[in-house]
Structure 1
Amino acid sequence: MPDVAAGDRSAAWAFEDARAAVAAWLAESGFGARSLAAEELAAGSRTFGAGWLLTVEFADRIRRLELLLPVGFPWLLPRVALVDRPPFLTWPHVERDGLLCLASNIAEGDPNDPVGTVKAMLGAAADLVEMLVAGGYESEFRDEFATYWEYAADPGTSMISLLRCERPTREVRVWRGKNYYLLAENEADLLHWLENRNGSRPQGFSSEPAGFVWLNQALIPAEYPATGYAFRALVTREDAQSGPLLNRLARGELPKIVTALGMQTANGPAIAGVVIEEPATRKHGARDPLTKGFRRGTVPEGVLTARYFGSGKLARRPVHRVDAAWIHGRGQDSRSQRLSTMRVAVIGCGSIGAVVALALAQAGVGHLNLIDPDVLKWANIGRHPLGATCVGMFKAEGLARKLHSELPHIVAKRFNVDVDTAIRSHTDMLRSCDLIISATGSWVADGRLDAWHADEGRLMPILYGWTEPHAIAGHAVLIENDVAALTAGFDRTGLPIFRLTEWPNGDFTRQEPACGAVYQPYGPVELGFVNSLISEVAIDALLGDACGATHNVWAGCAKRLRELGGRWTEAWCADDGFREEGRISVTRPWPTSKAAQSVGEQAA
């Protein structure tokens, strides 16, 4: 029985019962099972609770397998290791210690049927080994290139990439930092990412030329280059442009030549890194083997190339992509390229606007203008995405810093001003946006923005978002043409004509023991539904899936509404989308100006 915490005896009993059931089945199975000793179970970095050595006949020969039960069995899947195997990276899906990668074959097991789970796992292992014995597994290596290249990588500084993983072969730039190398198309991209990520320009910043070479197909382990000579032979065979590129890099007499290899796989593009250092000084050799026989700067190009790309060992490095296409959909979301070019202004960076801005940034919107004159207070952090470290900071500034730190590839600009100042002093910025989102919760501010929008001919859509008391309901109104205006849906006092909730007691606000400090005691969970609604409408508007004037509403939990002393309005109850229990999102038409005028006259 494995060691367990005193409060986890039930898990130990479950493991022992499952182990005993598997042992009984193995005793009758004909595998010649032998229990593994404690030292065998703990070999390397293993942490298994029980295991057996099995003999299994395959098409080519009898091979030994290890059936291994983790201490969390039967809730965790058993593992199978191939004992009689060729050298590492000869076969795919076989790890360095012989464990077989079968997770994609069997996603889950049945804790109530441990023997059935073991049978399924052994069956999958047998099928995999038979496939490997038969050959024809080259495509497995190519389709999962990144994994096997990382297995074969050398220790050293990690590499991350902002590069477009696509043709053509080209010269790029690299920043060689202490903890990682960063590759980008140009120095401006390097600086933008580093300044965002670290909050300032790296001290002593400098970049160097590097290479990006596109290969015709992904490599298999037998093709992985080990020397500079093998690397040059590989890339010049794959792409005629790579020879001149390597010559130019060698001509720079760099301490390290950094090159990224790009290639297409069945699962999308992959990228790998190669680092070649200048020839090392030998004990009794030339002081500078790279320039031996020449003064620096006068070594012929052919000599430099031969010396860099000679018999010296190169370093293979995995490359982790941090470009926008990869971060937002791993290169498989067709929307990310369109969104990366979009500009959105978010007016009001409180508990609605800040969350929506974060959602849009994570969805791939490449440029955000954040507008808010307020400072974050301690009372705000319970439902605001900025925490204690930003208290006392302008909300727009804190949000921009957060976005830059967490998504360094995007642009986030902050404007610590109110709506009126933004319109008067930053009109060109607003005009450049593909979408403006107003989350001020202020009728005066929204009315000012709507008037400006009309004066501008409503050239871009504006999305207005707000909540009803206690965030039981929320609204997202998109205004995109001359037919409708925001004011069309409000009465003369600034109240929405269509509301989902009403409060007979009229007591839906609270006040702090301070002058004018009024608030509503709801949290981020209730608000999350409204923020998701506004974010979704924003993405639809940017991608052209929402247009004109639309009114999207969220009706929350009716039980919570009643507990707080509220009820659904007659107008909402009469709506075609109404559902008594709530928890529903509905899209409605927003009234035109003429329709609103008619409603107003009737009300008068």
Structure 2
Amino acid sequence: MPDSIGAAASPLESHLLKHPLIAGVAEDANQRRQRRFALVLPPMPEERAFSNAWLVLPGKFPEERARIQLSRDAILRVPHVDSSGDLCFSGEAGPASGATAEARLDRLLALFQEEFLVPWLTGKLDCDFEKETANYWTIHVNRYASDVDAVKRVYTLDVRPTEPRLLDGQLLQPSRTLIVGDNLPLASRLIASLGPRATQVATVIVADIPVDFPFTPRTWPAQLTDILSLLQSRLNDVQYRAFERASHARATHRLVLLRAPTCTYGYLLPGGPPTVVVKGKTKRAYPTGQLLPLLVERVDPGWTCGRDQHAQVGARQRSHVLVLGAGALGSVVIDTLARSGVGRITVVDPDFLSASNIGRHLLGADMLGLPKAQGIAAHVGRAVPSCQLDYSREDAEAWLMRATLSGVDIVLDITGEPDVRAALETARLLHPRPLVISWMEPYVAAAHVCVLKDTEHWLAGLPDRLIDLQAVDWPDDVIMQEPGCSSQFQSYTPAQATFAVALVAEAALALIDRQVAASHLRSWVRGQSFLDAHYPGLVLREWAHSATKLDGVLLCRPWP
């Protein structure tokens, strides 16, 4: 029976000390006034044993969750244990469960037995290291990391190779970030994105080795001899000698990447130039004296733009989208397309960012007075280096007269200007390209995209039909006039425009992904209650009547 803690014991502690899984009295775990209760552990075989386990009650329990903690000798030896020894499993229900504190702890202790201890001792958790290998590798790397390491983090720019290879990496200073990959344009844009963290670049030789299965703490290479043996077996003689020669010069760092399907394990080998660290007036050089494990993250477009869940990203990377208009709608559409994997976007807009734009434009006050097209290219280019952003400060008609659509895959017209639509008609007769024409009605009571295959035309010898396609007949005074100038604008909020952004971006991506079978119109239409709240007396046109009693509805119509 557990030791008693005397008359000072609280009812909760008294309840716990009667529990068959509690081995002893509570102790203060740290300065956060946590309480720890030692747990009864059965005899364990040496290969599965760990020293201790505790039930930990945080200082604010029962408002906070209790947890199970194992001794430090379990870390990287037992699965589902984090860097502090806390056990990660379904755990304690918490205060939102409505259960009493005693019932919550009883259930937690039962789960410790059922979900962890018995399965661990019977071998049922043996494969779990492989399922979460990246988490355990992070724990391992953090054990060795220091402020003076020559490399802090590695980013790979391309997918896992099918064969072992040697290539150059770029070590960026002062951030000590290493980027690896053959995609030189992406490398250049990523370096530009890092700005002051990448003011100096040095070359590193990299052995990039595919491996078929993820490593676990028991199987990943732990010594330099393990790494060298692996390299000698996987590289050909010419590759191995070239990699080995770099160790003699000591002017170049050597990196090994072991790329499993779900995780990459990085190793910086001993040698190479020392790391110079300046602290105050003191400058010291720190050599890399031992094998250093490193975290490796993917920044290839398949991962950053699709988390490997969207096969279309590869084709999107090869696409070139021309966007005419970089206003409140166009700017956010451009950002969305870039983040969706589009590889190249050309932005055409002659306007400058003014104070009145800030509330609903992608750009903010830091870009005031700058050309919108230039600002969008810079902003999105820094944020999404997988996309090449080009820009022109010409108006759309001038650009279409000077350039051609021959190098463009699809065109987005987000200007709302009839002259631009007429100019596009001429340009598309010379170089047929799929086209998306998009616009919003006041308050975004409706938003529309006209999706045209390359054989279909907006005008086709007829008058411009944009007004006829709208959902509402708007009175003249709904269009606002800016004081002191001839510029007009519609009233709407960024939240309302979000519906239009999704509509336009999805239409563009459907064209890029070759999912459009026929030209059509798609419209997001708000219901009568929305109209009444913004401008009483308006009614929906007959084609949009199905939206009347709804908050909003997406409608599709054939073209023309």
TM tier, smaller:
0.7 to 0.9
CA deviations on 1:565-602 (whole Å, 9 max, x unpaired) are 2523332345xx544234111111121xxxxxxxxxxx
Amino acid at match of 2:459: T
- Judged with a 3 Å threshold, the aligned counterparts in structure 2 of structure 1 residues 472 and 245 are, in CA distance, closer, same or farther, namely same
TM-score under structure 2 length normalisation: 0.84
- Counterpart of 1:53, as a letter, is A
Contact 2:161–2:210 (8 Å) recurs in 1: yes
Judged with a 3 Å threshold, the aligned counterparts in structure 2 of structure 1 residues 87 and 81 are, in CA distance, closer, same or farther, namely closer
Q: Is the 8 A contact 2:349 2:392 kept in 1?
A: yes
* Residue from 166, 170, 176 that aligns with 1:175: 170
CA contact (8 A) 2:170 2:204 kept: yes
| Residue 464 (structure 1) aligned with residue 431 (structure 2) | no
**1:174-210 deviations in whole A, cap 9, x for unaligned?**
1112313323323834642344314599555442332
From the superposition, tell whether residues 551 and 22 of structure 1 become closer, same or farther in structure 2 (CA, over 3 Å).
farther
Relative to 1, partners in 2 of residues 1:208 and 1:77: Cα closer, same or farther, differing over 3 Å? same
Asked whether the 8 Å contact 1:377–1:391 carries over to 2, the reply is yes
In structure 1, which of residues 212, 217, 231 is the aligned counterpart of residue 213 of structure 2?
Answer: 217
- Code of the residue aligned with 2:20 in structure 1: it is G
Deviation, structure 1 residue 107:
8.8
Give 2:542's aligned residue: 571
User: What secondary structure, in the 3-state scheme, does the structure 1 residue paired with 2:254 have?
Assistant: strand
Partner of 2:37: 52
Greater Cα offset, 377-386 or 543-552: 543-552
Hey, what does 2:458 align to over in structure 1?
Answer: 486
Match of 2:531 among 529, 540, 561: 561
Cα distance between partner residues in 2 of 1:41 and 1:199: 41
Match of 1:32 in 2: 22
| SS of residue in 2 equivalent to 1:431 | coil
Q: Distance in 2 between matches of 1:352 and 1:380?
A: 11
- 2:499 aligned with 1:529, yes or no? yes
Partner letter of residue 88 of structure 1?
A: I
CA distance in 2, matches of 1:468, 1:518: 13
Change (3 A) 1:229 1:106: same
Q: 1:280 to 1:590 in 2, by over 3 A?
A: closer
Q: Which residue of 2 aligns with 1:250?
A: 244
- Gaps of at least 5 residues in structure 1 are 1-18, 282-308, 592-604
Secondary structure (helix, strand or coil) at the match of 1:486 reads: coil
Residue among 331, 344, 349 paired with 2:321: 344
Q: 2:271 aligns with which of 278, 287, 293?
A: 278
Provide closer, same or farther for how the CA distance between residues 151 and 451 of structure 1 changes in structure 2, counting only shifts above 3 A.
Answer: same
Which sits farther off after the overlay, 436-445 or 249-258?
Answer: 249-258
Give CA deviations for 1:433-452 in whole Å, capped at 9, x if unaligned. Answer: 22211101112212221332
SS of 2:40 mapped into structure 1:
strand
Distance 1:526 1:70, change over 3 A: farther
Local SS of the residue matching 1:437: strand
Partner of 1:436: 411
Residue 146 (structure 1) aligns with: 134
Partner Cα separation in structure 1 for residue 368 and residue 200 of structure 2: 32
Query: 2: CA distance between counterparts of 1:21 and 1:110?
Result: 21
Are 2:373 and 1:396 aligned? yes
AA in 2 matched with 1:182: L
Distance 1:416 1:123, change over 3 A: farther
> Matched residue of 1:273: which SS?
strand
Is structure 2 residue 151 aligned with structure 1 residue 161? no
**Are 1:383 and 1:523, in contact at CA under 8 Å, matched by a contact in 2?**
yes
Q: How many residues align?
A: 523
CA 1:359–1:70: 2 relative to 1, 3 Å: farther
Tell me if the contact between 1:478 and 1:547 (Cα under 8 Å) persists in the aligned partners: no
CA contact (8 A) 1:182 1:190 kept: no
Partner of 2:3: none
1:99/1:585 CA distance change after superposition, 3 Å: same
Q: What code does the residue aligned with 2:112 have?
A: A
80, 83, 86: which one aligns with 1:99: 86
- Would the aligned equivalents of 1:173 and 1:183 in 2 still touch at CA under 8 Å? no
Query: Conserved in 2, the CA contact under 8 Å of 1:351 and 1:384?
Result: yes
Residues 379-402 of structure 1: per-residue CA shift (max 9 Å, x gap) = 101000111111111111111111
Conserved in 2, the CA contact under 8 Å of 1:74 and 1:111?
A: no
Give runs of aligned pairs for residues 322-471 of structure 1, distance below 5 A: 322-427=299-404, 430-456=405-431, 458=432, 460-471=433-444
> What letter matches 2:16 in structure 1?
L
SS of residue paired to 1:502: coil
Q: Are 1:585 and 2:541 counterparts?
A: no
Change (3 A) 1:562 1:134: same
- Offset of residue 110 of structure 1: 3.7
Deviation at residue 114 of structure 1 after TM alignment: 4.8
Counterpart in the other structure of 2:110:
123
Contact 1:58 1:130 in 2 (8 A): no
Q: Does 1:236 align with 2:206?
A: no
Compute the displacement of 1:97 (Å).
Answer: 3.0
Note if contact 2:50-2:73 (Cα within 8 Å) is conserved in structure 1.
no
**CA deviation digits over 1:278-314, x for unaligned, max 9?**
2899xxxxxxxxxxxxxxxxxxxxxxxxxxx9xx631
Q: Pairwise mapping of residues 498-537 of structure 1 onto structure 2 (< 5 A)?
A: 498-503=469-474, 505-537=475-507
Change over 3 Å in CA distance of 1:121–1:358 after alignment to 2 = farther
In the other structure, the counterpart of 1:297 is none
494-503 or 68-77: which moved more?
68-77
**Corresponding residue for 2:449?**
476
* Counterpart contact for 2:257–2:267, Cα < 8 Å: yes
Deviation of the 1:355 alpha carbon: 0.7
Distance in 1 (alpha carbons) for counterparts of 2:111 and 2:354: 57
Distance 2:97 2:10 in 1: 14
User: Which amino acid in 2 is paired with 1:348?
Assistant: G
Aligned residues of 2:349 and 2:373 also touching (Cα < 8 A): yes
Note if contact 1:369-1:412 (Cα within 8 Å) is conserved in structure 2.
Answer: yes
Is 2:67 aligned against 1:79? yes
Q: Which residue of 1 aligns with 2:98?
A: 112
Please tell me the residue identity of whatever aligns with 2:265.
A
**TM-score, normalised on structure 1?**
0.78
Q: Which letter maps to 2:331?
A: A
CA 1:57 to 1:200, structure 2 compared with 1: closer, same or farther past 3 Å?
closer
Superposed displacement of residue 372, structure 1: 0.9
Alignment of 1:287-298 (within 5 A): none
**CA positional deviation for 1:408:** 1.8
Does the C-alpha gap of structure 1 residues 35 and 549 become closer, same or farther in structure 2, counting only changes over 3 Å? farther
**Alignment of 1:66 onto 2:63:** no
- Structure 2 counterpart of 1:128, which letter? F
Task: Specify the SS of the correspondent of 2:350.
Answer: coil
